Amino acid sequence: MADKKAVWLVALAITTLATPAANAATTVYEAEHAARTQGVVESQHDGYTGTGFVNYDNVIGSSVEFTTYTSRAGQHDLVFRYANGTTADRPLEISVDGTSTTVSFPSTETWTAWTAKTLTLELSQGTHTIRATATTAAGGPNLDSLTIANDVVAPRPRDWSTAVVDSTMAVRTATSLGLSYTDTLFLHSVYLVYQRTHNPRYLAYLKEWGDARVRADGSTGNPYHDLDSMLAGNLFLDLAQATGEERYRLAAQLIRDRITTYPRTTDGGLIHNVAFTGQLWADGVFMVQPFLARAGDIATAVQQLTTYYQHLKNPEGLLRHAYDEQRRQSWADPVSGQSPEVWCRAVGWFGMATVDVLRFVPRTHPDRAALVEIVRHLADGYRRFQDPATGLWFQLPAKPAVAGNWLETSCSSMYAYTISRAVKQGVLGPSYLPVARSGYRGVLAKASIGSDGRTAVADISVGTSVGDEGYYLRRARAVNDFHGLGAFLIMNEELR
């Protein structure tokens, strides 16, 4: 290929921060200083860098053209920072020295949720013309800047999502998985990977599970006597969407019907287990509330999150693991009813649940502000207690210096996901993005490929009840536990 031509690589990834590979020199080109046709420079949407951004102005063919320079030949990351507050994709034709490809710029949900699209290219040393042109009458996204990493020497990481799914499918057949929350969490995360890749093997795996577990009338043999068992509802909605089969809609409806009769605290909180009278566990909100919001019951989802939050909020940051209304449990404080510790994964479940519910709560909803308060409280705690050396979080995150504490992978995945999603929703500002990206890199450092070609994700806390400091610190650290694999995949689909 001629000098100054770009060799388009197969790799095309969405990232959430214009951060190139380690040790890379970068140059930022602000869109407002580039050449434009028909687009206009604006500054009314917060979060942009420089002095403004370019609005493509709903015109097909409108464009932004950058004149750039690379100091060395080789792989380079081109990072387009943008926002797309519509619900539709606004693709751009990206041309580098005359070689073009059409690139998706999907919704970021709000015009203040700035994110990034990264292309990895082979570029020669020297000057290059990079043009981003709107391909539809809706124009392009709002374009803030182009960042070029001039000295990328390491290859881009593998697609960890497909690597983890493929490895797990190779050792765990679909029919070996049951209705436990860990199994349905993993299967739901497989569906998220399927949505991106459209790999028919992933859908076939999910359908094989459904054929084995869900009867024609939607029954599964599960009485739904605990919130954990209701996480299957999310998977039933996934399969109903993917297959159109009525049994999955019926299965989801059975869970909704059960929730109407399920026991609660005196102020309406769904208790963690029918045997645990008056107890609320932070873990439980993820098992039910995103499912309810997806199924259309936003009011109940919001009410549950706010009720739980009032009982679990820790004034020092984050949340306590559990609450006992009756103050009868040995772990319950006689005044507050709270358990004594902040356990990392419980807080991760809560964060993921809240941002997932927020996707369905209209901005005019009277209780939306209460959910925003929850996210910001959690995010402040996440940022405060993040380990600066690794980007990860400890099993007891509010006690990083306590002897025997250890860095845990599943909650770190959950925290990184929650922050990234909240920034895209405009709930958090862009200053939180380094927290998410550092957490993401830290989690990836826990993933490896064995000599057999299979993935291993390490340092995952096994299933955990409510206890004291020593109890949490003694929990076993597993490899490829489904708590961690599910959270890892959800995070990776968000941040890859």
DSSP bridge pairs for 69: 127
Average pLDDT over residues 218-247: 98
Percentage of the residues of the chain whose pLDDT score is greater than 90: 78
Contact 194, 202 (CB under 8 A): yes
Instruction: Report the alpha-carbon distance of residue 185 to residue 172 in Å, rounded.
Output: 14
pLDDT given for residue 11 in this prediction: 36
- Interacting residues of 147 by C-beta distance below 8 A, sequence separation 6+: 18, 20, 26, 27, 28, 29, 77, 78, 79, 81
Residue type, 129: T
pLDDT given for residue 76 in this prediction: 83
pLDDT given for residue 216 in this prediction: 98
Q: Model pTM greater than 0.75?
A: no
Percentage of the residues of the chain whose pLDDT score is greater than 70: 93
Average pLDDT over residues 384-393: 95
Question: Token pair 């925290």 is at which residue?
Answer: 415
DSSP bridge pairs for 322: 281
Contact 126, 70 (CB under 8 A): yes
Instruction: Report the alpha-carbon distance of residue 3 to residue 185 in Å, rounded.
Output: 49
**Distance of alpha carbon 330 from its chain centroid, rounded?**
35
DSSP bridge pairs for 8: 121
* Residue 51 vs residue 196, higher pLDDT: 196
pLDDT given for residue 13 in this prediction: 35
Q: Rounded mean pLDDT of the chain? A: 91
User: Is the confidence at residue 151, as pLDDT, over 60?
Assistant: no
Q: Which pLDDT band, with edges at 50, 70 and 90, does 119 fall under?
A: confident
Q: Give, in degrees to the nearest 5, the angle at Cα 376 between 373 and 380.
A: 140
For every residue of 128-183, DSSP letters joined together read EEEEEEE-STT---EEEEEEEETT--SPPPP-HHHHHHHHHHHHS-GGG--SSHHH
Q: Which pLDDT band, with edges at 50, 70 and 90, does 25 fall under?
A: low
- Reading the block at residue 187, the tokens are 């299967």
Task: Tell me which residue of 388, 405, 387, 383 sits closest to 396, measured CA to CA.
Answer: 405
- Reading the block at residue 378, the tokens are 């959690």
User: Is the confidence at residue 8, as pLDDT, over 60?
Assistant: no
Instruction: Report the alpha-carbon distance of residue 12 to residue 214 in Å, rounded.
Output: 37
Q: Which tens digits make up the pLDDT trace of 301-339?
A: 999 999 999 999 998 789 999 999 999 999 999 999 999
pLDDT given for residue 126 in this prediction: 75
Q: Which tens digits make up the pLDDT trace of 264-300?
A: 999 999 999 999 999 999 999 999 999 999 999 999 9
Question: Token pair 């919704």 is at which residue?
Answer: 107
pLDDT given for residue 443 in this prediction: 95
- Interacting residues of 486 by C-beta distance below 8 A, sequence separation 6+: 182, 185, 186, 188, 189
Question: Token pair 């990836």 is at which residue?
Answer: 444
User: Is the confidence at residue 163, as pLDDT, over 70?
Assistant: yes
3-state helix, strand, coil in the chain (%, to 5): 40, 20, 40
67: region left, alpha or beta (phi > 0 left; psi from -120 to 50 alpha): beta
Task: Tell me which residue of 445, 451, 313 sits closest to 377, measured CA to CA.
Answer: 313
Instruction: Report the alpha-carbon distance of residue 264 to residue 397 in Å, rounded.
Output: 29
Burial annotation 214-247 (CB, 10 A radius, 16+ → b, else e)? beeebebebebebbbbbbbbbbbbbbbebeebeb
Q: Give, in degrees to the nearest 5, the angle at Cα 88 between 85 and 91.
A: 95
Length of the chain, please?
496
Q: Which tens digits make up the pLDDT trace of 414-450?
A: 999 999 999 999 999 999 999 999 999 999 999 988 8
Q: Which pLDDT band, with edges at 50, 70 and 90, does 50 fall under?
A: confident
pLDDT given for residue 15 in this prediction: 35
